[in-house]
Amino acid sequence: MAGAITHDRPSAAEGRQDGPLIVTEDVHLLDDLLRLCAAAGARPEVHHGVPERGGGWDTAPLVLVGDDAARRVRGAARRRGVVLVGRDQDDPGVWRRAVEIGADHVLMLPDGEQWLVDRIADVAEGVGPPALTVGVIGGRGGAGSSTLACALAVTSARQGRRTLLVDADPLGGGLDVLLGAEAVEGLRWPAFAASHGRVGGGALEESLPALPALHALRVLSWDRGDCVTIAPEAVRAVLAAARRRGGAVVVDLPRRIDEGVAQILAQLDLGLLVVPAELRAVAAAGRVASVAGMVLRDLRVAVRGPYAPGLDDREVARLLGLPLMGEVPTEAGLSAAQDRGTPPGADGRGPLARFCAAFWERAAVAGGDA
């Protein structure tokens, strides 16, 4: 069969192709790749060899070359974003063919389907760098982790970032309440309980409650209905979608680590362990850190006073064996302000807001600002 099969290919006026270029003559492999593109919301272009005059080979954000077509594309111009796709796990020659065509990755189906759907989704959405994703977890109950998570998110939004606050604690009462947004329309976690596969980043953002008074901050919280179990796969997909939108994602984490929370920990860039400066809190925080640290790559301590005799922030960090992020300041009148419906850090002038502003400034200097 000669020629090309185009699936809703955008016109030249629409600019760059948003989906991958598929190069294969294997009809069964093509069926699978078209199915995965549909799952990712992408519109592919299909050829049986390198398109004449470059075409999609040069402009497609991703090129999927079937193992059957590796010989036919061997002389094409080298470019990034080429994936060689096959089925035979035991064929050692596939790595040689990948080198010959300059492929970035070798992918075997069906094992690599989820990775490929996520990769296609990324290019279809035209995403840039992923969001800096920060998790906040209490070293003990009542440590103030939810307050700090809200203040970090509010501060990030005030500074102009696209920001999403995620409430990962189903027993915490709902962060939308802490933000004064319990009546704002939008989806809560139970709406994602039956999610399977990829979640679109744009669709997720548009579906969540938006808070204009808090600089367009978005929040994913729990409702006040019966407790619903969210499958770990759904948790992973939702957070991955949030990260694809860039900016900042702040997650308020529960102290109990289950499979769903582990999916979140695996996607965090940084974790903040909020520890009151008292010996029992430090002992409890040590247990939390030992479990979270099995998954989380970068966990740091944020110490909250007042200090017990013999303790300061550096000593707390030393006892836990973790890097010190800093001291979370005590702010007079914070609880009363929250009772009046003022979210933590909302005015931008108090000690907590200044702590959060300094945190994001350090994150930007470290290259994490998106």
The per-residue DSSP string of 293-356 comes to: TTT-S-EEEEEESSPPTT--HHHHHHHHT--EEEEEPP-TTHHHHHHTT--TTTTS-SHHHHHH
Residue 213, pLDDT score: 85
Residues of the chain with pLDDT > 70: what percent?
91
- Superfamily of domain 132-365 in CATH is P-loop containing nucleotide triphosphate hydrolases (3.40.50.300)
Q: Are 311 and 301 in contact (CB under 8 A)?
A: no
Q: Stretch 11-16: mean pLDDT, rounded?
A: 38
Confidence at 11, pLDDT banded by 50, 70, 90: very low
The pLDDT score that the predictor gives to residue 17 is 53
Identify the burial level of 289 via C-beta atoms within 10 angstroms of its C-beta, where 0-12 means exposed, 13-18 middle and 19 or more buried.
buried
Q: How many CB atoms lie within 10 A of CB 251?
A: 26
First to last CA, the chain: 46
- Residues 106-117: pLDDT tens digits? 999 999 998 898
pLDDT at 2 over 80: no
pLDDT at 370 (0 to 100): 40
Q: Which residues contact 206 (CB under 8 A, 6 or more apart)?
A: none
User: Which of 126-135, 222-231, 308-317, 345-354 has the highest mean predicted lDDT (pLDDT)?
Assistant: 308-317
**C-alpha to C-alpha distance for 33 and 64, rounded to whole angstroms:** 9
Q: What does the block give as tokens for 63?
A: 């090129």
Higher pLDDT, 126 or 26: 26
Instruction: List, in order, residues 6 or more apart from 28 with CB less than 8 Å away.
Output: none
**CA pair distance 237, 218, nearest whole angstrom:** 17
Q: What's the angle, vertex CA 353, arms to CA 186 and CA 301, rounded to 5? A: 95
209-253: per-residue pLDDT in tens? 999 989 999 999 998 888 888 999 999 989 988 998 889 999 999
Which of 201, 297, 292 is CA-nearest to residue 249? Answer: 201
> Mean pLDDT across the chain, nearest whole number?
88
The mean pLDDT of 327-351, rounded to a whole number, is 82
pLDDT value for 366: 60
pLDDT for the residue 55: 62
List pLDDT tens digits, range 134-167: 999 999 999 999 999 999 999 999 999 999 999 9
- What's domain 5-125's architecture? 3-Layer(aba) Sandwich (3.40)
pLDDT in tens, 72-107: 999 899 999 999 999 988 898 999 999 999 999 999
**pLDDT for 12:** 33
What are the domain boundaries of the chain?
Answer: 5-125, 132-365
H or E element at residue 135: strand 132-138
Fold match between domain 5-125 and domain 132-365: yes
How do residues 165-180 score in pLDDT, each as one tens digit?
A: 999 999 888 899 889 8
Q: Would you place residue 194 in the very low, low, confident or very high pLDDT band (cuts 50, 70, 90)?
A: confident
Give percent above pLDDT 90 in the chain. Answer: 63
How does pLDDT run across 257-299, given as a tens digit for each residue? 999 999 999 999 999 999 999 999 999 999 999 999 999 989 9
pTM for the model: 0.73
Residue closest to 107 by CA, chosen among 123, 89, 84, 91: 84
- Token representation of residue 12: 């030249």
Predicted local distance difference test score (pLDDT) of residue 5:
29
The pLDDT assigned to 168 comes to 96
pLDDT at residue number 148? 96
- pLDDT of 16 reads 46
What radius of gyration do the chain's Cα atoms show?
Answer: 24
Which pLDDT band holds residue 364 (cuts at 50, 70, 90)?
confident
Q: Each residue of 52-65: pLDDT tens digit?
A: 765 689 889 999 99
pLDDT at 282: 97
